[in-house]
Amino acid sequence: MDAQFEKYADLEIISRINEGDIKLFEILIRRYDPFLYKIGRSYRYNHEDTQDLMQDAYINAYCNLKKFEKRAKFKTWLTRIMLNVCYQKKHKLSFKNEIHEDDIQNEKSEILFHHSSNNEKIAMNRELGHVIENAVHKIPEDYRIVFTLRELNGLNVAETAEALDISEGNVKVRLNRAKGMLQKEIKKMYSSEDIFEFNLIYCDTMVNRVMAKIYELKKVEDEK
């Protein structure tokens, strides 16, 4: 992907995609991969399931891109799509009890952090990541999602309220309660860069998966 396109705002990219330049959808994928990944993980889905949900969200967004109302931010619109696919999967699996705490506790953490030449820092980050992630997973879902959107994904109060369809007052209350549920030592060490990160190698994989599906959809559409 030509680096010149990376400076384009979301709306410019979307307009070009809707005009037929579908390869530019890759920019949106790379721009929002870490964002969607954190949402999926906040629902306690493992890495593989989160990737599947991200792909579903991107394909859903692509197929409905011409319906995107520019009154809202694309990030908020995409967030609502990801929240919806996570919610749907959760209810489909609720009777199967497929999401276990043990799976989360034992999952390898190497995927959660960027590479570093400092081995001591890597070890510290991994340990810190385990502590933080385990603590966040113990927070009730309503508070965990607000915490993820506000603190990890950087949405403001209004954007979070719009994405979750709740009042701004509820966002503030839930965030404060979420923080109160975390242990003091975790709050002192907390850094958004140290939790639920999506490394470039996985971003490349997601780009390949989604773009292959998009080109397949485009081919079917052209053949009609």
Look at residue 61 and tell me whether its pLDDT is greater than 60.
Answer: yes
pLDDT of residue 3: 58
- What is d(CA 43, CA 87) in angstroms, rounded to the nearest whole number? 8
Look at residue 118 and tell me whether its pLDDT is greater than 70.
Answer: no
Give me the percent of the chain exceeding a pLDDT of 90: 46
Look at residue 39 and tell me whether its pLDDT is greater than 70.
Answer: yes
pLDDT of residue 99: 42
Look at residue 181 and tell me whether its pLDDT is greater than 90.
Answer: no
Amino acid at 149: L
Look at residue 180 and tell me whether its pLDDT is greater than 50.
Answer: yes
Mean per-residue pLDDT for 66-70?
86
Residue 72, SS3 per DSSP: coil
pLDDT of residue 57: 97
Domain 112-197 has CATH 1.10.10.10: yes
CATH architecture of 8-102+199-224: Orthogonal Bundle (1.10)
Quick one: the chain helix, strand, coil %, rounded to 5? Answer: 75, 0, 25
Question: Domain locations in the chain?
Answer: 8-102+199-224, 112-197
Look at residue 119 and tell me whether its pLDDT is greater than 50.
Answer: no
pLDDT of residue 221: 84
Look at residue 145 and tell me whether its pLDDT is greater than 90.
Answer: yes
Q: What are phi and psi of 186, to 5 degrees?
A: -70, -40
Residue 186's pLDDT band, with cuts at 50, 70 and 90, is low
Lowest mean pLDDT among 70-74, 87-91, 103-107: 103-107
Look at residue 102 and tell me whether its pLDDT is greater than 60.
Answer: no
136: left (phi over 0), alpha (psi -120 to 50) or beta: alpha
